[in-house]
Amino acid sequence: MGKSISLAAYLTWARRAATGPMDGFTPSRPRPEGAVIWGHATSQDHARALIQFSERLSTQRAGPRASKLSLLLTMAPGLPAPAHTRQLTILQDLPSENGTDPHAFLDHWRPDLCLWTGGDLRPALLVEAEARGVPLFLVDADRSMLERLKWQWLPDVTRTLLGRFSRIMARSETTAQYLRRQGVPDDIISVTGIFQEGAITLPYNEALREEMATSLRGRPIWLAAMLKPDELSIVLAAHRQASRLTHRLCLIIVPDDLKDRDFFAQALADEEWRHIVWSNGDMPEETTQVLLADTRGELGLWYRLSPISFMGSSLGSGMGGSDPNEPAAHGSAIVYGPNVGRYLPSYTRYAEAGAARIVRDEHTLAAALGRLIAADQAAAMAHAAWDVASTGAQVTDQIVELAHDALDTLEST
């Protein structure tokens, strides 16, 4: 590792910088047992992608450490915390560069590896992490972020910091060329594309899928997933309108909360829908209009059977939405309501690609169904959704493999 007078000057300044009464590192919680992967997000998209990455890595790790893997998520100052986190995620404010804050942060969390996204590098923190033997990986490296120099008076700090990463995954060839000009060796650079949430397929029983497909006999099907009670009347009204044009149309309803199953079942009975309740062990018949899927574990099956998925928890004010990556992973066109704040960037990506369509009430939902029931329309949207979802998934897969290798090396030593 080449020495840098500029970096040494910066570190000296940072150590001597006075901290105010509100400064100083405070841990958000005790360090958990097992491996801790430190992921630093420089955008909301990066935060969501890191959370999804940690879930995928955890499910793939074998052995006793599999259930003891945590994501320590820090974010660039000013970024709000992600609206949806997972059980494995620990949120922690990023420490300052001043005084002993970097030491205190690393003393407490003792990360097993670091995934730093984008750019906006923190010299004191990264240098101290490398000195402790923490493997450093820069993912989704973005030239525009790396060129945001905060150290105009120290021109070679960025160049020196980049040399401390074991692997750099560049967003584009333009960024890769910039890295080479900074002296980063070719053998640690790869051009992977944008790191963002991707699609993860859900498990399902293929024999049961074939049995269901036979039972439904090629009928047009649509899914209302993660539905709130307040949305049921809208969905059923839209189903009734659409059924006037498509007489064999079948609706599968998955409640957001299984505690509401009795409410859903009673509403279907009160409106005299010909329906079955999945937990009763019934199979749909030619005359079945609605299937109430009131169990957990079969969502992958319902997505595979349904060319059209209305993603619930999205029509009412303040609901927040449900994950559009799930239907995208299974070849289902995405329909959603206007209240999807928890997943807004994901819905925006799919909508811009022509893979998702917004609805606001029973009439717009019925109109969307009428258009998408035509197989070519739903297929075009589903294909566009898959293109968006698989791009994010491929980059995540590469980062997961990188983390596997680093953790395997640590465990073996």
Query: What's the structural domain count of the chain?
Result: 2
Instruction: Examine the pLDDT at 91 and tell me if it is beyond 90.
Output: yes
- Mean pLDDT value across residues 45-52: 89
Statement to judge: residues 187 and 237 lie in one domain: no
Collapsing DSSP to helix, strand or coil, 186 comes out as helix
**pLDDT for position 1:** 46
Q: Let me know whether 192 and 245 are in one domain.
A: no
In a shared domain, residues 189 and 284: no
Percent of the chain residues past pLDDT 70, beyond the cut: 90
Do 154 and 275 fall into the same domain?
Answer: no
Residues 362 and 248 in one domain: yes
pTM over 0.75, yes/no: no
| pLDDT tier, 22 (very low <50, low <70, confident <90, very high otherwise) | very low
Mean pLDDT of 115-128: 90
Q: How confident is the model at residue 19 (pLDDT cuts 50, 70, 90)?
A: low
On whether both 222 and 350 belong to a single domain, the answer is yes
Instruction: Give the confidence band of 149 by pLDDT, cuts at 50, 70, 90.
Output: low
Q: At what angle do helices 362-372 and 229-245 cross, to 10 degrees?
A: 50
Q: Determine the pLDDT at residue 21.
A: 42
321: left (phi over 0), alpha (psi -120 to 50) or beta: left
Distances (CA, A) of 6 to 103, 128, 130, 151: 21, 16, 18, 9
Give the residue among 310, 307, 192, 210 at the shortest CA–CA distance from 254.
310
Domain span including residue 226: 206-391
Domain membership of residue 413 (yes or no) is no
At 44, the pLDDT band (50, 70, 90 cuts) reads: confident
Domain boundary among 170, 196, 222: 196
Same domain, residue pair 275 and 296 = yes
Q: In the chain, what percentage of residues exceed pLDDT 90? A: 56
396 in a structural domain: no
pLDDT at 364: 97
| Integer Cα distance of 205 and 241 in angstroms | 32
Give 340: exposed, middle or buried? Use CB within 10 Å, 0-12, 13-18, 19+: buried
Residues 235 and 362 in one domain: yes
Does 135 share its domain with 227? no
- Rg over CA atoms, the chain: 25
CATH number for the domain harbouring residue 43: 3.40.50.11720
Cα-based distances in Å from 120 to 76, 145, 149, 162, 262: 8, 6, 8, 11, 52
Q: Kindly state whether residues 191 and 231 are assigned to the same domain.
A: no
> 331: pLDDT confidence band, cut at 50, 70 and 90?
confident
Last residue of a domain, one of 138, 163, 196: 196
pLDDT at position 156, please? 73
In whole numbers, what is the pLDDT of the chain averaged over residues?
88
- Average pLDDT in the 151-169 region? 79
* pLDDT confidence of residue 200: 73
Residue with tokens 């239907």: 327
What sign has the CA pseudo-torsion 363, 366, 372, 374? negative
User: Which position has the higher pLDDT, 65 or 392?
Assistant: 392
What CATH number should be reported for the domain holding residue 351? 3.40.50.2000
Segment 352-410, tens digit of pLDDT = 999 999 999 999 999 999 999 877 888 999 999 888 887 777 888 899 999 999 998 88
Of residues 4 and 402, which shows the higher confidence score?
Answer: 402
Q: In the 8-state DSSP scheme, what is residue 90?
A: E
297 with 190, same domain: the answer is no
Please check the confidence at residue 116 and state whether its pLDDT lies above 50.
yes
186 and 269, same domain (yes or no) = no
Name all contacts of 339-346 with Cβ < 8 Å and 24+ positions apart. Answer: 339/314, 339/315, 340/311, 340/314, 341/83, 342/83, 342/84, 343/83, 343/84, 345/44, 345/45, 345/48, 346/48, 346/197
pLDDT tens-place string over residues 271-323: 999 999 999 998 999 999 999 999 998 999 999 999 999 999 999 998 989 98
What local confidence, expressed as pLDDT, does residue 65 receive? 45
